[in-house]
Structure 1
Amino acid sequence: MDLPTFWFLAIAFLFVGYFVLEGFDFGVGVLMRTFGRDQAERRLLLNTIGPVWDGNEVWLITAAGSMFAAFPHWYASVFSGFYLPMLLILLALIVRGVAFEFRGKRDDAAWRARWDWAILCGSLLPALLWGLIFANVVRGVPLAADHEYAGGLADLLNPFALLGAATFAAVFVLHGAVFVALKTTGEVRDRANRLAARFGPVAVALLLGFLAWMLVGVRRDPAAIGVGSAAAVAAVAALGANRVRREGWAFAGTAAAIGLTVVALFAALHPALLPSTGDPAGTLTVANAAASAYSLKIMTVVAGVFLPLVLLYQGWTYWVFRKRLSLTR
C-alpha cells in the first residue's frame, strides 16, 4: 500500500471515530430540551456526555489536520467550496461548548433554558450540515480544471444532500437516545428506550433510503455496496436489541451502522477525493492531491507514536465513566 492510500484510509478511520463518538453526544444534545422534562433530567442527560464530549471533538481536529497535511488540495477545495456550512458548524460547536460550561453558572431557570436551547441548536445544526457536506462530497460538486469550486450555495442544496442531512441528524438522535438508555437508570432509562423504539424506524428508514440512493443512484461500487448492506443490517439489528432492552447491543448496533455508513461513503468515493460534476479534469484523486512523499513519511512516524497514546487515553476515560447514572432531585 502506498502512503497516499494509507492516509486516505487513516482519514476515513478518523471520521468513523468522530461520527460514532460525536454522534451520540450530538443526539443527547438535541434531546436535552425536548426529552428532559425538568432541570434535574436535563442535568442528568448532560452528565452522561460531560466527561467525554470534548474528547470526542479531538477526532475532528485530527481528521482536519490530517487532510491539510496529507492532501492539501483536497483540504483547500473542501473548505472553500463548503465555506458557509463549515463556518456554521464551527460557530455551532463554539456555542455548544460555551453552553455546556455556562448553563450551570447561575441558579436561574430562564438562564438555563436559554443555554439548553443553545445546546440543542449547537448539536442539531452540525449533525444536519455534516450530512449535507458528506453527501455532496460523494456525489461530487462543480470544480474547475484548477480544482477550484465553481458552484454556488444552491448547488449544495440538491435532493440527495438534503436527504443526507436529514439522515445524519435522525440517526444521531437515535444513537443519542440509545446512549441515554445505556447510561441511565429508572424512569429516564425506560423513556429513552421507548423513544428509541418509536423514533428508530424513522431514522433507519432514512438511512436505508440514503444508502440505497448513494449505492445505486450515485456511486455503484461493489465494496461500498457490501459495506452499506452491513450498515443497514446493523441498524435493523439495533432496533431489535433496543426492543428487548439490550441497550449495550443496541448501542453497538447504532455505532456500527454509523461507522459502516461512513466507510461506505469513503469506499464509494475512492480513488477520488472530490469528484467534479463540471470539468472532469477538476476531479481530485488520491494521486493528484497528495502531499510530497517526505511529508507523508513524517506524518506516518508521528501518527505511529501519538495515535496509540490518544486511543489508550480515550479508552481509559470511557472505562472510568462507564457506570450508569441515577436521577437526583
Structure 2
Amino acid sequence: MELTTVWFVVIAFLWTSYFFLEGFDFGVGMLLPVLGRDDVERRVVINTIGPVWDGNEVWFIVAGAATFAAFPEWYATLFSGFYLPLLAILLALIIRGVAFEYRGKRDDARWRSRWDKAIFWGSLVPAFLWGVAFANMVRGVPLDADHEYAGTLADLLSPYALLGGLTTLILFVLHGAVFLALKTSGTIRFRARRIADLAVVAAIAAGGSFLLITQVQYGKPATWLTAAGAAAGLLLAGAANRRGREGWAFIGTGAAIVLAVATLFTALFPDVLPSTLGSGSLTTANAASSDYTLTIMTWVAAVFTPIVMIYQGWTYWVFRKRISTSQIPVKRPVP
C-alpha cells in the first residue's frame, strides 16, 4: 500500500475518533439547558465530561496537524475555501473551553447562566458546521486549475451540505443523551433516556436520508455496507435504550458515527477534495507531501498513537462510575 493511501486512512481514523469522542461532548453541551433543571443538575451534566472533554479535543488537533503535514495542499485549500465555517468552529470551541473553566469561578447565578449559554452554543455550532464541512468535501467545491477555491460562502450551503450538518447535529445529541444515561443515575438518567428515544427517530430520518443521497450520488459498492452498518447501529441504540441497556445503546450510537464517517471517507477516496468545475480536484497523489516526510510521520505515528490511546483509555476507566446529584455538595451562603 502506498504511503499516501496509508495516511489517508490514518487521517480518516483520527477524524473518526474525534467525532466519536467529541460527539458526545457536543451532545452533552447541547443538552445542558434541557436536562439541567437547576444548578446542581447542571453541575452533574457538566461533570460527566469534565475529566475527558479536553482530552477528546486532542484528536481534533492531531487530525488537523496530520492533514497539514501529510496533505498540505488539502489543508491549505480547506482553510482558504472553508475559512468562515472553520473560523466559526474554532471560536466556538475556544468559547466553550473557557466556559467550562470559568463557570464555577464565581458563586453567582447570572454568571453561571451566561457560561451555560456559552457551553450550549459552543457545542451546537461545531456539531452543525462539521457536518456541513464534510458534506462539502464529499460533494466537491469549485476549485480552479491551481487548486484554489473559486466559490463563495453560498456554495458551501447547498441542501446536501445543510442536511449533513443537521445529521451530525442530531447524531451528537443522541450520542450525548445516551452517554448521559450511561454516566448518571436518578432523574437525569431517565430524562436522558427519554430524549434519546426521541433523538434516535430523528437521527434515523435525517441520517438515513443523508447517507442514502451520499450513496446514490457519490458512493461506492463498499459504502453500502458501511451505510447499512450505521443504520443498524442506530436501531441497536434505540432498542437498547428502551430496555435500559445504556452500554449497548452507547455502542450503537458510537458504531453509527464511526460507520457514517467511514462512509464519507470511503466515498471520497482517492480524492481528498473534488472540484465541481471539472478540473483542479485534489487527490491523495497531488496533495501529498514527499515520501520522505510521510515515512518519518509513519514512524512517529506508530510510536505515539498507541500511547495516546492507552492513556485516554486509562482516563475513561478511572472516571467510569456513575454520578448523581447526591454527590454534588450544596453551596451554602457564608453567615
TM range (shorter): over 0.9
Alignment of 1:106-125 (within 5 A): 106-125=106-125
The match for 1:61 is: 61
The match for 2:294 is: 296
The match for 1:176 is: 176
Q: Is 223-232 or 262-271 further displaced after alignment?
A: 223-232
> Quick one: which amino acid aligns to residue 74 of structure 2?
W
The match for 1:246 is: 245
Q: C-alpha distance in 1, partners of 2:108/2:314?
A: 35
Q: C-alpha distance in 2, partners of 1:303/1:267?
A: 22
The match for 2:229 is: 230
User: Offset at 1:186?
Assistant: 1.2
The match for 1:273 is: 272
Output one character per residue of 1:134-178: Cα deviation in whole Å (capped at 9) or x when no partner: 000000000001100000000001000000011100110010000
> Quick one: which amino acid aligns to residue 206 of structure 1?
A
Runs of 4+ in 1 over 3 A off after TM superposition: none
The match for 1:318 is: 316
Q: C-alpha distance in 1, partners of 2:296/2:198?
A: 49
Q: Do residues 71 (structure 1) and 71 (structure 2) align?
A: yes
Output one character per residue of 1:67-120: Cα deviation in whole Å (capped at 9) or x when no partner: 000000000111111000000000000000000000100111111000000000
The DSSP-based 3-state class of the residue aligned with 2:279 is helix
The match for 1:46 is: 46
The match for 2:2 is: 2
Q: Is 14-23 or 184-193 further displaced after alignment?
A: 184-193
Q: C-alpha distance in 2, partners of 1:150/1:90?
A: 23
User: Offset at 1:199?
Assistant: 2.4
User: Offset at 1:198?
Assistant: 2.1
User: Offset at 1:34?
Assistant: 2.2
CA RMSD of the aligned region, Å? 0.8
The match for 2:203 is: 203
Q: Do residues 282 (structure 1) and 280 (structure 2) align?
A: yes
In structure 2, stretches of 5+ residues that fail to align are 331-335
Q: Contact 2:35–2:188 (CA<8 Å) still a contact in 1?
A: no
Q: C-alpha distance in 2, partners of 1:220/1:254?
A: 22
Q: C-alpha distance in 2, partners of 1:201/1:220?
A: 24
Q: C-alpha distance in 2, partners of 1:201/1:12?
A: 27
Q: C-alpha distance in 1, partners of 2:275/2:306?
A: 36
User: Offset at 1:197?
Assistant: 0.8
The DSSP-based 3-state class of the residue aligned with 1:282 is coil
Q: Do residues 160 (structure 1) and 160 (structure 2) align?
A: yes
The match for 2:333 is: none
Q: C-alpha distance in 2, partners of 1:22/1:322?
A: 17
Q: C-alpha distance in 1, partners of 2:187/2:279?
A: 58
User: Offset at 1:305?
Assistant: 1.1
| Aligned residue pair count | 327
Output one character per residue of 1:18-56: Cα deviation in whole Å (capped at 9) or x when no partner: 000000010000011122111011000000000000000
- The alignment's TM-score, normalised by the length of structure 2, stands at 0.96
Q: Contact 2:69–2:289 (CA<8 Å) still a contact in 1?
A: yes
The match for 2:83 is: 83
Q: C-alpha distance in 2, partners of 1:307/1:20?
A: 16
Q: C-alpha distance in 2, partners of 1:144/1:168?
A: 29
The match for 1:22 is: 22
Q: C-alpha distance in 2, partners of 1:222/1:308?
A: 31
Q: Contact 2:218–2:267 (CA<8 Å) still a contact in 1?
A: yes
The match for 1:215 is: 215
- The alignment's TM-score, normalised by the length of structure 1, stands at 0.98
Q: C-alpha distance in 1, partners of 2:9/2:68?
A: 15
> Quick one: which amino acid aligns to residue 128 of structure 1?
F
User: Offset at 1:125?
Assistant: 0.2
User: Offset at 1:181?
Assistant: 0.2
